[in-house]
Amino acid sequence: MNDKTLCMSAINAMSFSYSPYSECKVGAALLSSSGKVYTGCNIENASFSPTVCAERTAFFKAISEGERDFVKIAVAGGKNGIIDPGFTPCGVCRQVMAEFCRPDFRILIVNAENSFDEFSLAQLLPEAFKI
Ligand code: THU
């Protein structure tokens, strides 16, 4: 799966976002080393704290189906579904990535329909907590 196709899957996943409170639509597409893509969206809740981010939805779908090894993730998000190039994964999602991914895990942040910025997990979460 090439980078652009994964980014398009993340953009597509934004449409499933359940976000009546923040009105931020977020989509993620996670490629496992088995070659499967797991998509996710953010799912909010009236009680706020049960809200789950798009990235963790994608990771938890994959992990709950037996996946343990991942290649890259694409993330697209923004208020009212308008892609915000600054929409990087939150700290909790970075920590979940650190549990399952190597420091060179690739994180693609969609800028617009046809462009993305790329970071490694080590760049977004240096000195990750590990036990
Ligand atoms: N959100 C994500 O889906 N991913 C992130 O990495 C940051 C935040 C969602 C959670 C909430 O529904 C909305 O964006 C605003 O915080």
- For the domain spanning 3-124, the CATH number is 3.40.140.10
Determine contact, residues 13/40, Cβ cutoff 8 Å: yes
127 carries an active-site annotation: no
Nearest to 73 by CA among 24, 114, 120: 120
Q: Which pLDDT score, from 0 to 100, does residue 71 have?
A: 98
Supply the pLDDT for residue 1. Answer: 87
Most ligand 1 atoms within 8 A of CB, residue of 26, 43, 110 to mutate: 26
Which ligand 1 atom is the nearest neighbour of the CA of 43? 12
Each domain of the chain, given as residue ranges in start order, spans 3-124
Cα–Cα distance measured from residue 17 to residue 29, given in angstroms and rounded to the nearest whole number: 13
- pLDDT profile of the chain (131 residues), mean per 10: 96 98 98 98 98 98 98 98 95 98 98 94 95 89
Check pocket membership of 90 for ligand 1, CB cut-off 6 A.
yes
How far, in Å, are 40, 104, 113 from residue 31 at the CA level? 12, 14, 19
Question: pLDDT (tens digit, 9 = 90+) per residue, 31-49?
Answer: 999 999 999 999 999 999 9
